[in-house]
Each structure stands twice: as C-alpha cells, then as structure tokens.
Amino acid sequence: MIEKKLLTEIALETLNSIRADRLVEKKVKFSGDRLISEGTSINLEDYENISVIGFGKASAMMAKPIAEWMGERIADGWINVKYGHAMEISGLEIWEAGHPLPDENTIRGTKKILDIVENSGENDLIIALISGGGSALLEDPMIPLEDLIKTNELLLKSGATIHEINTVRKHLSHVKGGRLAKIAEPSRILSLILSDVIGDDISTIASGPLSPDPTSYSDAYMVLKDYGLWNSVPESVRTVIERGINGEIEETPEYIENVSTVIIGNLKDALREAETAGRRRLDNVILKEKPLEGEAREWGKLFAETAKRMLENDSLKEPVLIISGGETTVTVIGHGKGGRNQEFALAFAIHAKGLNACILCLNTDGTDGPTDSAGAIADGETYHRALELGLKPEEYLKNNDSYTFFEKLDGLFRTGPTHTNLNDLVFLLIKPAK
C-alpha cells in the first residue's frame, strides 16, 4: 500500500506541473503590445480584431491565461471542450460537446467557430488553442453524423494508430486536414498546441485543422482496407473516399501560409516533470525517453519481465523507479470496458504475480478510453487478490474488461479532469527484498 501511495503522489504532482495554463505561461509571454512565443513575435497593434478559438480537452485551461493577459483586446472567442471540462472565462464562450465521439453539440460548437473564422479578414488575428480530443470536438462532416460516429467507433476498436485514424477522419471533414486554415484566409492565425501525439506531428494532432496535410484520399482508403473495415463502414464513407480518389472532391491542402504554430507542451515535458517529482522522493530514478507504442498488453508483460530481471539482480539494493510514457494501442476483440492504460496494468498484474513491484499507468488527460478513470494501479499481489475474490484475470484481459476488473479490486486511478493532455505515463516501482 505504501508503494501505491508513493506512486499516486508522484503522478498527481506531475499532473499538476503540466496543467495547460502553466504550460502556456511558460511558453507564451506578453511584452507591451507584443505576444512572444518560441521565436514568434506578434505586434497586437497590427490587427483590427483579435479572436480566440479552441478545441480539445485542455483548450479552456489553455485559454485562461490568454484571456487574463489580453482582456478587452479579444473581440470574440469560442472554445469547444469535453463534457465536464468547462469553466468560466471572461470574454470567451466555453461550449461542451462529445468525446471520444462527436455529437450534435460538436456540430453546433464548430458552427460558432466557423462563424468567427469565416468573418475574419486580412487585418485580423486568430489565436487558436488546440489540444488532444480536438478531432472529436471540432467537426463539420461531409457525411451524416451517425455514419461518422460508426466509422470512429470501428477505427477506435481496430488497433489502428492515431495517425491512421486521423488520416480517415481528415478526409471525411470540411474542417480537418488544414481545411480550417484555408477557410480562415487571409487572416493570420497563431496556433498554440498541446501535443498528445508522439513526435508532435501537427498534421495529426486534433486531425490537423490548421496544418498542411501530407495524406490523401488514397491513404484513407488503405487504412480502412488494411484493418478490414472498408466493407464495414457506412456507404457514405466509401462514397466520399472514392469521389476524393477520383478527384471529384478537393484534396486536403499541402501548403498553409497563414498559420504560425507553437508546441507549448508534449510528452518530453511530461516525462521531465515526472522525473523531477520522482527524484524528490527517491534516489534511484530511471527515465526511459523512447516513447511506448504498440499493444498495451504486450508492454504490460514486458514491464513485468523488466521487474523480474531487476529483482533477480543481486546488485539492486535500493528501490528503483522507472518512468516511461507514450501511447499504446488496444485491439478490441472482447465486449468489456476499459482503456489502454488499464489493459497495460492488467497484463502487468498477470505476469508480475508474486513480484515486489508496483505499476501505475495513466492517461495525462484523466480519461483512459471510454471510462471515468485515468488508468490503474497493479502490483505483485493483484493477481492473487483477484483469485481470492473469484476473479480470473486472464478472462478479463481476453474480454478487454480491465475497467471492471480493477473496479472490483479498487485499483482504478481516478483524477477527474486534469486540464492537460500529453500522452500516457507509466511509473514502475521495484523494491528489492530486505
């Protein structure tokens, strides 16, 4: 229990350090009439009107310091956030909508953002605040909403990467894949982004509404084909993609000239803050900077094997904390409930039974998959405790039902909205026998 308490303290301190408003305050500065960020300097006096738009789970918290700094300079502002993430910000309308799947409120909120963008001219500045979740929270679809929702559900369960999922999303939307930037021409846009994508590919984050898009309708077709979804998606999806391949629908733009982009936070920031929090409490901290990618359950097994090897090493005399991060995937074959971090922790529990090790896997945005939990905590006793309760861990893993498993064991890690989104973090604590 001490190990779980320690990992919880480290994780909560990390999440507090990487909250979106704090990251904005670190990367964006105001000096007189100038806004300065990462080599970009904008004289606000050069613009007749300044608007603020945003979409993503952390976009309201990103907007908070911007609104406080700029005050009445802001002529108009609209932010789309996930349900439960709204807050009062003077001068801005904060609108809640669906995530991880878009809904009617997404469409309504996007229409308000489009009203701002379409009415901006060459002497106007738009400050755009983007974070993970923006793909669901900004949408003007080319197909019926119910067809888009079904397609998203199929993609999210397929095991496809976020790059592949967003390749399809971009080619079914009037605003994704750089199309919002083209609508905004000739106004200037400053895009501030919290990256939840490994490698910080701005064409993938929130499906890249303000960035050039290197993918095509043919690429979208291949994603659906490769994952066996082409015949499963609605007919409207196939029609749009086929028309795009045939040149009947204009491709997403390859060049964008009116947007300046600054990444204000990413996985490296999260790992750096996690390491700092860890070293406040432990002398032996190992930071793994290479991002985790691939099946969550395979990583759970590998982390258990790492713990076993280290515990078998006679040179290990003190507790060691291993910190890693990234974004794993889950290929859903069962009918249970869970997220990639919960599945990661469940696989660890199965392979780490009896080991003096504890793991905490979490999504920094506070939501792991379609659940109310950020992730889960497991240790070497989790497997045996489950058996005592009549639970079969392997069956829960097979059914992708990690949420139910950890709920029964009181192993869910709940944070509520964290107002940030910088991929996932994994904390593994290994303690040698006394």
Please tell me the CATH code under which domain 20-264 is placed.
3.40.50.10180
The continuous run of DSSP H or E covering 124 comes out as: strand 124-130
Q: Mind listing the pLDDT tens digit for each residue in 65-114?
A: 999 999 999 999 999 999 999 999 999 999 999 998 999 999 999 999 99
Q: Which amino acid is at 13?
A: E
Q: Measured between alpha carbons, how far is 112 from 81 in angstroms, rounded to an integer?
A: 13
- Provide mean pLDDT across the span 294-314: 95
Sort strands 40-43 and 357-363 into parallel, antiparallel or unpaired: unpaired
Q: How confident is the model at residue 434 (pLDDT cuts 50, 70, 90)?
A: low
Residue 46, pLDDT score: 94
The tens digit of pLDDT for each residue in 314-329 reads 778 899 999 999 999 9
Task: State the first-to-last Cα distance of the chain, in angstroms, to the nearest integer.
Answer: 17
Query: So where are the chain's domains?
Result: 20-264, 268-430
Q: Which helix (H) or strand (E) holds 116?
A: helix 104-118
| Sign of the CA dihedral running 24, 29, 32, 34 | negative
pLDDT at 1 over 80: no
Farthest-apart Cα atoms in the chain, separation: 70
C-beta separation of 126 from 188 below 8 A: yes
- Tokens 């983007």 locate to 130
Q: Which two tokens stand for residue 216?
A: 């095509």
CATH of the domain spanning 268-430: 3.40.1480.10
* Exposure string for 23-32, b = 16+ CB within 10 A, e = fewer: bbbebbeeee
Interatomic CA distance for residues 403 and 389, integer angstroms: 16
Cα angle 190, 196, 199 (rounded to 5 degrees) comes to 85
Question: Is the whole model's pTM more than 0.95, yes or no?
Answer: no
Residue (of 169, 87, 85) closest to 366 by Cα position: 85
The residue-averaged pLDDT of 286-308 equals 97
d(CA 418, CA 138): 20
